[in-house]
Amino acid sequence: MIKKLFSFLLLFLTLVIARSQSFRNPILAGYYPDPSICRAGDDYYIVNSSFAYYPGLPLFHSKDLLNWEQIGYAMNRPQQLNLDSAGVSRGLFAPAISYHNGTFYIVCTEVSKLGNFVITAKDPKGPWSNPVSLPQVNGIDPSLFFDENGKAYIVFNSIPPNNISLHDGHRTIRMFEFDPVNLKVAGEEKLLINGGTDMAKKPVWIEGPHLIKKDSWYYLICAEGGTGYNHSEVVFRSKSPEGPFVSYEKNPILTQRHLDPNRKNPITTTGHADFVEGKDGQWWGVFLGCRPYEGDYYNTGRETFMAPVVWKDGWPEFELGGEEVKYSYKINAVAYPKREPFNGNYFFRDDFNSTDLNIRYQFLRTVRSEWYNLKDNPGSLTFRLRPETCAGKGNPSLIGFHQPHLKGYAATALKFIPAAENEKAGLLLFQNEKTFYYLCKSVKDGKPVVELYKGTDLVASKPLGGKNNKDIYFKIEAATDKYAFYYAEKKDKWQLLQDGVDAKYLSTKSAGGFVGCIYGMYVTASGKTSGNTAAYKWFEVKNDDEVYK
């Protein structure tokens, strides 16, 4: 009797806790754009764009849409992904993940070399297959749809009819049937959407399409307005997957472009959504958004947000709880301690005690040689100094971590004995090949110095007082539109090298492109050959945004 009562109370408490939980937006903080989501039984999976970072296409798993864990990358082998010479904002654009009859599919566009392709896996943790090219798919943002009658389709953004634009940004949504066994398109290409919701208004950049079926209707959700401040999500429906599709009279179903830009803690640029139905029947939409600190300036890139979706009179709408996307929504789930959360004011620390590199790190372009290891100095991450630099288009000795929030810091400790002025090791704050800050140790006139670079220009330098073989510590503090750069020759004895450093220089608005900033452990011999190494002792990131307190 007591055992049954205890079980009943445990179940009751679990249900109460489940109903009272909330998640924090963005659910994937920092540069995790273009989310696509699928459900496989009781499991949910998200994949994101990764552009020229390697491994490519980060994958996340959840049992309840509340607790997310990174499980790997879909493209983690050089033979899968050639990013050589790709610009930072090239590479992999807008993947879409699907599950059908025991197989996972990802379709994506590699814009530099491969074009559109499909990969498959039985287990989303991998291994994923080598890519199969889809040359007939002329465009970007492909997505698969598996119908109940056994047919499959691939929809994608493409050129205007006869490749004649009626206005700037005129694009179309097109479709082929898809053969999921032989991984190729079938039949004739069909035009589903020409231009967008209302050609009289000259709609721009209809893209990011996904087909969904509900209650005998086929819904085509798409991004519209461009992936900047005017971004939005729109929906069309039809009784056939081949159309004709009718635009919802209340489009767009998601945008923030009409709101006061001076509102507190704004979330902007919302769109590029994908839908999933939860196990409890509640629908959700994941989408990209941005958190500017002023105007359209943000350094964290385009991030993954989530909000409820409801169905009204046969159409889906985002239930935002008002016009603004909220930083928190309630969800029927049970929160559990997360070892490495991806949202809120989390703290990340790596002491390099594992034999494997933490899954959250990424490299710039494809890694083809082992220039780093965790074995030479147990408890340290050792880098080889190489000629490549982050200002070039090779694979530099750089291991990066996404800047997650507007406020916080990244810090590291390393042992490094530079032998010449071209040898440098330290902490990088990187946006692209031209826009970055680099806080590092080097030598000047044979004596150790700490230096700060803005791009390739030296902007600050100080001599180090201790011996050249002592550990050195670096810290970069983010404070919305400013950064501060610190160093220490003794643990926690921080000395300010430069304060009030311009953060807008690294923003997408100033620097261009589609990525956000990364904090990076980075060493270089600046174009020369070197046999030197640097050993990082630890690396940590702490977040301190008021909205999550």
- The CATH number of the domain covering residues in 347-548: 2.60.120.200
State the Cα–Cα distance between residues 320 and 253, nearest whole angstrom.
10
Cα-Cα-Cα-Cα torsion 361, 71, 118, 244, nearest 10 degrees, comes to -110
pLDDT tens, residue by residue, 133-148: 999 999 999 999 999 9
445 noted as active-site residue: no
pLDDT at 45 over 70: yes
Contact (Cβ atoms closer than 8 angstroms) between residue 362 and residue 44: no
Structure tokens at 318: 């985002």
pLDDT tens, residue by residue, 101-130: 999 999 999 998 999 999 999 999 999 999
What are the boundaries of each domain within the chain? 2-330, 347-548
pLDDT at 17: 43
pLDDT tens, residue by residue, 273-287: 999 999 999 999 999
Confidence tier at 10 by pLDDT (50, 70, 90): very low
The Cα angle at residue 504 between residues 501 and 510, in degrees rounded to 5: 140
Give the 3-state secondary structure of residue 109. Answer: strand
Average pLDDT, the chain: 94
Structure tokens at 108: 């994506």
The Cα angle at residue 50 between residues 541 and 342, in degrees rounded to 5: 35
**Other beta carbons less than 10 A from residue 356's beta carbon:** 6
Alpha carbon distances (Å) from 311 to 271, 275, 286, 437: 18, 12, 16, 47
- Starting at the edge strand found earlier in the chain, the sheet holding 152-158 runs 139-146, 152-158, 172-179, 184-194
State the Cα–Cα distance between residues 176 and 152, nearest whole angstrom.
9
Contact (Cβ atoms closer than 8 angstroms) between residue 67 and residue 333: yes
Cα-Cα-Cα-Cα torsion 18, 24, 29, 34, nearest 10 degrees, comes to 80
- Express as a percent the part of the chain with pLDDT over 90: 92
Contact (Cβ atoms closer than 8 angstroms) between residue 88 and residue 398: no
Residues, the chain, total? 549
pLDDT at 351 over 70: yes
Contact (Cβ atoms closer than 8 angstroms) between residue 52 and residue 83: yes
**C-alpha gyration radius of the chain:** 24
Q: Backbone dihedral region of 314: left (phi > 0), alpha (psi from -120 to 50 degrees) or beta?
A: left
pLDDT tens, residue by residue, 476-512: 999 999 999 999 999 999 999 999 999 999 999 999 9
State the Cα–Cα distance between residues 518 and 406, nearest whole angstrom.
12
Question: Among 64, 110, 207, 433, which one carries the catalytic annotation?
Answer: 207
Contact (Cβ atoms closer than 8 angstroms) between residue 158 and residue 115: no
pLDDT tens, residue by residue, 371-426: 999 998 899 999 999 999 999 999 999 999 999 999 999 999 999 999 999 999 99
**Other beta carbons less than 10 A from residue 92's beta carbon:** 27
207 noted as active-site residue: yes
Q: Are strands 152-158 and 184-194 parallel, antiparallel or unpaired?
A: unpaired
Mean pLDDT computed over 189-215: 96
DSSP one-letter string for 121-167: ESSTTSPPPPPEE-TT--EEEEEEEE-TTS-EEEEEEEPPGGG--SS
DSSP one-letter string for 409-469: EEEEEEEE---STT-EEEEEEESSSSSEEEEEEEEETTEEEEEEEETTEEEEEEE--S-TT
Cα-Cα-Cα-Cα torsion 530, 437, 270, 347, nearest 10 degrees, comes to 80
pLDDT at 348 over 90: yes
Cα 437–chain centre separation: 21
pLDDT at 20: 61
pLDDT at 182 over 80: yes
Alpha carbon distances (Å) from 96 to 22, 451, 472: 26, 43, 43
pLDDT at 209 over 90: yes
pLDDT at 437 over 50: yes
**Other beta carbons less than 10 A from residue 46's beta carbon:** 25
- Express as a percent the part of the chain with pLDDT over 70: 96
Q: Which fold is adopted by the domain 2-330?
A: Tachylectin-2; Chain A (2.115.10)
Structure tokens at 429: 């704050």
SS3 content of the chain, % helix, strand, coil (to 5): 5, 45, 45
pLDDT tens, residue by residue, 73-110: 999 999 999 999 999 999 999 999 999 999 999 999 99
Helix and strand tally (H, E) in the chain? 2, 39
pLDDT at 6 over 60: no
Find the range with the poorest average confidence among 26-40, 327-341, 515-529: 327-341
pLDDT at 14: 42
- The HSE-up count of residue 206 (CA atoms within 13 Å, CB side) is 34
